Amino acid sequence: MASPADWTPPSEHLIRAANLALAPWRAWTSPVFHGLRHVPRHGPALLAGNHTVYGVIDAPLIFFEIHRRRGVWVRSLADHLHWQVPVWRRIMDLGGSVDGTRDNCRALLDTGQIVVVFPGGAREATRDRGEGYRLQWEHRLGFARMAIEAGCPIVPFGTVGVEEMFTTVVNPGSPLLAPARALGRTVLGERGHRDDVVPPLSRGIGLTPFPRPERLYYRFGAPIDTAPWAGRADDEGAVREVRDLVREAVAGIIDDLRAEQAEDPSRTPLGRIGRGMARGSRLLPRVVPRVISR
């Protein structure tokens, strides 16, 4: 089996096509990025952040913006469930995602790559109503262990906006979704004891599943150096210390982004249009005299 490190980044033609496909979503969400200077141009490094509900809604913009601004393709550790879905698994492969195992993570870091990880995994992506933005990393230590082992920094990041696009109508654990959970167990086969693969049923605009128009906010924090814990990858206490430092940093980033969101007059398309019209009206007195004088 080929190593996950043996991967060819997308061609320029494919990048242009993907960017074109994402253009309507960028227009709908008008994403804001902060702190991309903290993302290194060379690895090894881990980027660790929060999963929002549904997961795949905001994540793609991260990879393309890092590539555009930092000139590097980051790799992603993802739930093995993605590779159970025809066509979608091909998209995951093309984007450089790999099954989130320790061996795969180690192979990527050993070859100097930058790896994105969502420690909350599927549990955060299938959260219950009322759990918005709560980090669910309770027993997730693997990413911290891998970073200590590789001696690489961890860049904390946060994403805000998706939770406001939807209202959960039926929680993932509801009896109403029992048939879906049973189907998930059947599809997953030997790993079928999991129940965290069924997302909630939500509504967006009105009673439809179409997401409400909300701006997406992203922030990358200062890298956390794992050098002080060098050689202690098997020390549970050391690994927990690193995990907790990263979790605290991500939680703080989320709080900052939610505060920015609450005060942002351009949070929605209508707000952005209104501000654009206001700017235009302020510029008009300066522009019209020049036109008339000609």
Domain assignment present for residue 292? The answer is: no
Residue 202 lies in a domain: no
Are 68 and 217 contacting, i.e. CB atoms less than 8 angstroms apart?
Answer: no
Residue 76 belongs to a domain: yes
DSSP for 9-32 reads PPPHHHHHHHHHHHHHHHHHH--E
Asked whether residue 63 is domain-assigned, the answer is yes
Q: Is residue 83 part of a domain?
A: yes
Q: 106 is in which domain, residue-wise?
A: 12-167+211-263
Q: Where are the alpha helices (DSSP H) in the chain?
A: 12-29, 59-70, 88-94, 102-110, 121-125, 142-150, 178-188, 236-263, 269-293
Instruction: Confirm whether 188 is domain-assigned.
Output: no
Helices (H), 96-235: 102-110, 121-125, 142-150, 178-188
Q: What is the pLDDT along the chain (294 residues), one digit of tens a residue?
A: 568 878 888 888 988 999 999 999 999 999 999 999 999 999 899 999 999 988 788 999 999 999 999 999 999 998 888 888 888 888 888 888 999 999 999 999 999 999 999 999 888 888 888 888 999 998 899 999 999 999 999 999 999 999 999 999 998 788 887 887 777 666 665 454 566 678 888 999 999 999 999 999 999 999 999 999 999 999 999 999 999 999 999 999 999 999 999 999 999 887 788 766 666 666 556 545 544 433
Cβ contact 5:111 at 8 Å = yes
Residue 206 lies in a domain: no
Residue 196 in any domain: the answer is no
Quote the number of domains for the chain.
Answer: 1
